Structure formats: C-alpha cells, structure tokens
Structure 1
C-alpha cells in the first residue's frame, strides 16, 4: 500500500475517531450526579464490578444498546477468573467479540488492578490502531467512566499505536509482520495479549504462510510474556472460516495439549469457546436472541450463498471448488424428453422431517452426456418432495415417457414410499417410486467419482433453470463438497446415484415406453406382506 493511500486512510480514521468521541461524550453524560461524594462513587463502582456484564452495560451504554449475550458473559468470566489463560474466542462474524476482548474486558481488568500492559495484534497496522483507539476514546471522552474512575489518560496516541495511563499502564499495537521479541516498558512486559481477526484469504490459502503465522504466535508473540508472572492472558478471536486460520490451527493444538495435561494430572489453562450464529439450520434459534431473531437468520441464510454463510456464521470450513470446480459447471438447453436415451428421478431423503435437505434430481442421458433437467433441494418435509414430483410429472406430461423413479433404499421404509403413494391417491394416479436397494457404501468416494464426468464436460445443467434456487443449491453443495467439511451433501449424493442408474449398457439407446401402473395393481401383484 503506497504512502498516499495510507495517509488518506489514517485521515479517515482520525475523522471517525473525532465523530465517535463526540457521540460518546453525549451518550455518557446523561444522568451523572456531579454532587456524588468520592465514597458514594466508590461504593457504586465496586457494586458494578461484581459482575462484568453489569459493569459493561453501565459504563458503555453506546455499545450496550441491546443486552449482552450469554457467550459474552461466559467469555468474560473465563478471561477474568483465570489470571493465566489461553483463550480461543471462536465466535461468529458480527458476534461483538472485538468490543469485549479488545475494549470491555481489558478496561475491566485495568480498573480492577489486573492489567498493566496490553498488546493488541491486528491484521494490519491501521486495523490494530483502530481497535486500540476504542480504549483511548473511553479513557478520554467517556464522561461516566471519568466520573467514577477519574481522568486516566496521560500521554501517547492511538494513532501511533502506543499510549499510557496516569498510573503507568501501557496499551500498544502490533501486526504479524512485526517482531515483538524483547518488547517491554521499563520492567513491564505484556500481560494481556489479544490477537483479533488477523487472517487473510491470501494467507489461509498458502499452507507455508499459515504455519509461519502459527509459529510466530506461539514463539515470538507468546514469548513476550514475563515467564512466571502472575498475569498472562493470551486471547485469539475470529470466526473459524478455514482450516488454515490461526484460530483453527490453535484449536487443534490446544485440544492435543489439553489431553496431554489431563493425562499428566495437570489442570489446563487452555479454553475454547465456540459460538455459531444459530443453534441449528432448522429452527434458526439464535445464540444472541437479544440482538437478532430466528426469522432474521433464516432470511439471511436463504439469501446467502451456502458456503459463505457456513464459513462466516457457522465455523464450517468449506473451500470453494476443492473437488468440483466452478469452471466445470456448464449449461445447455434441455432436449425434448423423447430424445433422451433414458430418464431418471432419484431422491436422497432423510429421517428428520425438516432438519436435513431433501434432494431429488431429474437427470436425462444423451449419449455420453448427463443433463440435469430439474432438481428439488430444500430443507422441508417429505410430503413437499412428493408434491413437487407429482406436479413435475403432471405439468411436463412425463407419464408419456419411460422414466425410472428411485429413492435411496436406506430411507425407503413404508412411510417414505407412502408419502408418494398418498399424494398419488389424492390425485387419482400413482408414480411407481421404488426404493434403491443397491448397497451404497463409501459416500465420499462415490460422490467424488463424478469428478471425471465434470472434467470431461459430460454433465450439463438445464439452461432454462440456471437461476433456479434448487439448481443453485445443488451446485452450491457440489462446490462445497469435501471430506470432513460438515457441509450438506444430499444433492450431490442424489445426482451421483441418478447418474449411476443411467450409466449402464442397457441405457445406451432409447428403450420402449412402459405403462404406469396403479397402486392397486402393484399391491395385487405383491406377495402377502403380512
């Protein structure tokens, strides 16, 4: 970044600082009793200090516009109650982790006498300075804080990444590019180190750079602590969006350390607090209901690209196109149905009524090509899959063509087939959906086996449905597919199964049409099921 751009960005930060400082003075000046005696002030602040959340909401009304979440309290208690600790705040994007670990908690530790030297590490120099500026703003412009604790700011400036209080407590910034070795102020070394949102997409996509960041954090950064000192708090915060993020590498490391300490009978001071935005993707119950509703998160989920939402808000690592790449997604207008060698519907359903995705794909084989003609990929009930299938067959007059209808055998118990039969009875005609009893071991390998078809341009999606939410969800799940990611794979599984049914020698050319039989006829030909 050139000097002129840096200067412009710093000027912007300075303007924002002044504007925010004015608003802090206005919002914190109300309700203060200037006639309160020193004893009354002390009594009141000591009462607030008994509970960090109470203290935070009293001192910083401009931040506490809604009640703090349960995880803010838990995070604060871990850090405050453990003078020596290493904490991973794995909290979803927009979860207000920075305001607590970079401002609220360190100021609380400062006024309670448990912090002498804070070192804040940001992704860049400017980002680190912007974060540390929040502390200076409160010390200088928060009238309520000054009323109860006095004027604490002495000299230095956040814009230089370094300032000191009247009682000698130091606040400094750094970045991963700087060496903190030997960092001290007189005989004081950092006792509160926070690393906030330092990862970049460029770094996490480079294994070597990611390992170097881990080594820097564990050796250089943690090495600035004064060994054996009573206060040594090391906090790393970020949403866990990639396996190479610092927080994820530390998470793996901390779990191993904790097991080793446990085996040795030593208490671990390593803590991991994991908080996704919502508790599940069925109810969308939020982890911070005081701020956002389930309806808000459901709308955001529906309006987001699946892999983006999972990375930023659910801590699920999804590397875009790690197995199926975006450039392999191609579209073609569908042929007339009669021109396909074979046609197949295949459904991958789930036991849960609405928890998992219900996926059904409609695929046609034309020579060496497989055309994805339509798809149903939604978090909904089995009944809605049946309605969609019957509507599709009825609207496109598909009963005039020879089509195979399968649902995965593992899930094809009577009640599953009945969902389709009951819908047919209501309409007066039946689609002969049958369970696929063929063994389907090794889901990952099966789905991955489609890679060759995509590379050879054997798979095409219906051009007319390029912007269909269901087709896009199928593509999203393909691009997100990788081993151990935790991402949904119901639609890719259904697609692979349909292709496997179609990719057989007997489907190499058109075969005769077959008549659709009624449910009564099917039952009459079955052996006595009782």
Structure 2
C-alpha cells in the first residue's frame, strides 16, 4: 500500500473510532414509541437532531445562525445560497454532514454531491458523512445498517436507506450524473477557492462558468439545492463574482466576532478574549480577513504597500511641528465609521507618523487616547490637535469636557473647515508625497493594530471606493496642515516656526 493510501485509511479509521465512541447511551433505553417520537422530533428540530446523532460534533451548543441556515436550506427545495461564515464557524460540518443528513432524514432520500478544489480534497471532505452512515451507533439503531458493501467507493457510495454521496473535483464533468433514475438533489461547493486560485482571474472565471454551465444544468427535479461554503477572504474571488451576477441568490454573512467588543458570534464555543488573542498572533488584517470577510489589501491604483517606509523616528522634541487630527465618529459598532486620531510630525520636508488611534469605538476612548498622548509628551513639546467643524456638536463637546476633567488635561482642539471631497483631498495631499518618499512610519508601529487598520483603509482608496476612509482622511488633514509649516529656512531644530500659518481663533 502506498504511503498516501495508508495515511488515508488510517485517517478514516480514526473517524470511525471517534464516531463509535460517541455511543448512544442517552437514547439506548428508549421504548419503540419513544424512539419513533424522538425521530419525529429530530426531523423538526435541527438542534435536537445534532444532539441525537452527532454528539461528537456538539462540543458547543448550536449557534442561532447555524440553526437559521439549516432551516432555510431544508424548507426551500430550490435553495441557492452562500454560507459566508468566518473561519472556525463549522461551515464544512454543517454543509457537508449535518444538513445533507437532515434533508435525507426529512425527505427519505438525498443525492448529495460535494465539490472541492480537487477530487482528492472532495473525497476527504465527503468521508465525514460516509463514516457517519457506516459507524454512527444512533443512525444504525434508528434506521439499521447503512453501509452497502456493493456500493461503498470513496468517490461514489449509496446507503441502504437511500442516501447517495459523490465527490467531484473542480473541472470534473457534472453532465449526466445519475445513479439509476436518480439525479443530484443537493450540491455543496466547499473550499473551491484557495490562496493560490485567487491569484488567477482566468481560473476564477472558469469557476463561475463551471457552476453556471456544468453544475446547475445537472440537477433535474423538484429538489435542486446548491450551497457554497467558502471564506470570503480576498478582494477578488469567484464567490464574489458569482454573487454579483446572481443577486437573487441568498448570501448568509456571519462574522466570527465583533471588532469593537471582541465578542464571539458563536458564544458557546469561543470565550471572551479568544479573537483578541488571534489578532495579536496573526495581525489584525489577517484576522479580519479570515474571520470577518474583510480582505487584506496590499495596495491599489493610488497607494501601494511598497510606498510605506518604516524608519526610526526623530525624537519627539526634534520635530518642527507635531499635529494630531481627529476624524470623529459617533456610533461605535462594527459597521460604523472609525474614530481616527493620527499624530504626525514634520521634520525638514518629511512627514512622520508618530502614533495613532483607529478604532470603531465611541468618542470617549479616542479623547482619552489624545489625553494620554499629550500627558506623555516631554516639557516644551506641544501637539496641535485639530478636528473638522462639520462633525462638532453638543455631544462631542460634552464628551471632550468629561474626559478632560477625568484626565486633568486640556486638549485645545482647533476646529477646521473643509469643503473638499474626501477622495480629492486624500489624493491631493497624500499620493505624490507617498510616491516621492516624503512620508515615513515609525518602526515602533510595525506590529501596531491601529496602524495596520489605517494602512488597509489607505490601500482601499480607489475611484468609486466604498470602504472606510477615516484614517487616510485624518492623514490628509494633518499632512496638509503640516505642509504649511515648510519654509525655505526650515532647520528641523525643534524650534517652533510659524511659516505661513496663521493660528485659528476657533479653538475649543
């Protein structure tokens, strides 16, 4: 036996052993009438179905989003949709095992086809449910032996109770698929796209064509369910193209956690602090991509990753001027704008990002951060705080007043008027300066989460962009302001020189 085949057999036997060890102790003393009632209950209640047949998967209580999705797929025999769930939310278990089984339990049969990036990968995914039918003690107790020795190939198998499982790799023809008179009733596409395929747009177009021209026509009956379970982790993916082409297909988006509070969506599985530790280990952009469908960008038309220069910054008292701009946001939830405070220093004709706060919080944490930054400055160093007047209201003033009193700090924030469009302002103030190497980031901020959020927003600035822009907007304001202090006699000595700047009387 080849090493690869031996490892495959050993892996499958381990799955069998796990399933058999789960036992059916809770239900083994049922009377025939109780068994009948409980089977009927499992047909109606997916949570109970999981507890009865899949206790080895039920290490955490079923999440509401999982229950919602299962019910939606079962109730609509023509269902087509995307399980856009973050990593770790059990997409494969639910779409390759639990839901296909539940459909079979309710409808009496199911011809389930699992498609993945290769046949080998598809076989490995499909063997999870094959092992259940072969060894699950509760399934056997309720419905009898299901393994059909004459039809138990790893790529195509048929149970005695009418479940058909088939594994296909991308590109394998779906045309003419049938077992006897039966045609596929349910497809799940799982992990068809990987970090390798997203680099090939031609391959993505082929995937879309495969679904539309090969897969969908191969279903022919009342039941024609299609689910697609794949992380949406990159800017361009076949699932995004497919979704855009078919706006009537259901997209069930579930983020793994709240970026503001770090509360897990699947609370019974992931405890407080879990995702915060993930961000610290992986980096915030990678975590947001894998768990919350926010692609990690590396640069676009205007701002590219190679423009970012990391450098040991000058001493804080060696800048000609230090200015911090606050882009104000009110709500503080994971769909709101960001409170972005970007502190920049000017030395000679170059601009240095000294520190920053970029979070989807309410205003108070941003104000406290500014107070803490100001308190950290050595004697004689002043930071000029600025904010756009259009966002100023009584609630902003009240928040600032309360935090300043608590912290014993007066920020002296200057209000500025700006009527330029954000996109125009960002391009005008930043693009040429990045291209000409005039902008530097403190090397101390390389692993700083808020800095990374700011970079992701910067990379997303494109014509017609729809992403967040609070951080680059604050940068444009701060750098535009500092540029007014560049004079022909600039010495970078640390002495404050006004240049052409006239202080505003509009100071809070």
TM-score by length of 1: 0.82
Preserved contact between residue 421 and residue 431 of structure 1 (Cα < 8 Å): no
Aligned length: 497
Q: 2:28 aligns with which of 15, 29, 33?
A: 33
Q: 1:208 aligns with which of 198, 202, 205?
A: 202
- Deviation string 1:375-422 (CA, Å, 9 cap, x unpaired) is 233455544444443444444336456x54312222234553565566
Preserved contact between residue 84 and residue 230 of structure 2 (Cα < 8 Å): yes
Preserved contact between residue 117 and residue 169 of structure 1 (Cα < 8 Å): yes
Q: 2:290 aligns with which of 301, 312, 323?
A: 312
- Deviation string 1:317-344 (CA, Å, 9 cap, x unpaired) is 4433335333322122333556545432
Q: Distance in 2 between the 1:425 and 1:169 partners?
A: 69
Q: Distance in 2 between the 1:83 and 1:469 partners?
A: 45
Indicate how the Cα distance of structure 1 residues 423 and 137 shifts in structure 2: closer, same or farther if over 3 A, else same.
closer
> What's the counterpart of residue 335 of structure 1?
314
Whether 2:362 is the aligned partner of 1:362: answer: no
- Deviation string 1:290-338 (CA, Å, 9 cap, x unpaired) is 2224543444445543332332222234433335333322122333556
Preserved contact between residue 341 and residue 507 of structure 1 (Cα < 8 Å): no
> What's the counterpart of residue 9 of structure 2?
14
Indicate how the Cα distance of structure 1 residues 186 and 484 shifts in structure 2: closer, same or farther if over 3 A, else same.
farther
Q: 2:417 aligns with which of 434, 437, 441?
A: 437
SS in 2 for 1:49: helix
Q: Distance in 2 between the 1:75 and 1:302 partners?
A: 31
Q: 2:436 aligns with which of 440, 452, 456?
A: 456
Q: Distance in 2 between the 1:432 and 1:100 partners?
A: 55
Q: Distance in 1 between the 2:269 and 2:243 partners?
A: 28
Give the gaps of 5 or more residues in structure 1: 259-269, 516-521
Whether 2:217 is the aligned partner of 1:239: answer: no
SS in 1 for 2:12: helix
Indicate how the Cα distance of structure 1 residues 34 and 444 shifts in structure 2: closer, same or farther if over 3 A, else same.
same
> What's the counterpart of residue 50 of structure 1?
44
Q: Distance in 2 between the 1:285 and 1:332 partners?
A: 35
Shift of 1:29: 4.0
SS in 1 for 2:103: helix
- Deviation string 1:242-267 (CA, Å, 9 cap, x unpaired) is 35333322322231xx3xxxxxxxxx
Q: Distance in 2 between the 1:158 and 1:509 partners?
A: 84
Whether 2:165 is the aligned partner of 1:175: answer: no
Preserved contact between residue 351 and residue 411 of structure 1 (Cα < 8 Å): no
Shift of 1:61: 0.8
Q: 1:220 aligns with which of 211, 214, 222?
A: 214
TM-score by length of 2: 0.85
> What's the counterpart of residue 392 of structure 2?
412
Whether 2:253 is the aligned partner of 1:253: answer: no
How well do the aligned residues superpose, as a CA RMSD in angstroms? Answer: 3.4
Shift of 1:191: 1.5
Preserved contact between residue 88 and residue 273 of structure 1 (Cα < 8 Å): yes
- Deviation string 1:33-58 (CA, Å, 9 cap, x unpaired) is 37855x66444322332323322221
Whether 2:370 is the aligned partner of 1:389: answer: yes
SS in 1 for 2:345: strand
Q: Distance in 2 between the 1:91 and 1:81 partners?
A: 20
Indicate how the Cα distance of structure 1 residues 178 and 440 shifts in structure 2: closer, same or farther if over 3 A, else same.
same
Preserved contact between residue 152 and residue 158 of structure 2 (Cα < 8 Å): no
Q: 1:102 aligns with which of 96, 102, 112?
A: 96
Shift of 1:22: 1.0
Indicate how the Cα distance of structure 1 residues 378 and 97 shifts in structure 2: closer, same or farther if over 3 A, else same.
closer
Shift of 1:217: 0.6
Give the gaps of 5 or more residues in structure 2: none
Shift of 1:470: 4.3
Q: 2:352 aligns with which of 350, 359, 371?
A: 371
SS in 1 for 2:67: helix
Preserved contact between residue 23 and residue 138 of structure 2 (Cα < 8 Å): yes
Q: Distance in 1 between the 2:409 and 2:293 partners?
A: 46
Q: Distance in 2 between the 1:428 and 1:45 partners?
A: 66
SS in 1 for 2:357: strand
Q: 2:222 aligns with which of 218, 230, 239?
A: 230
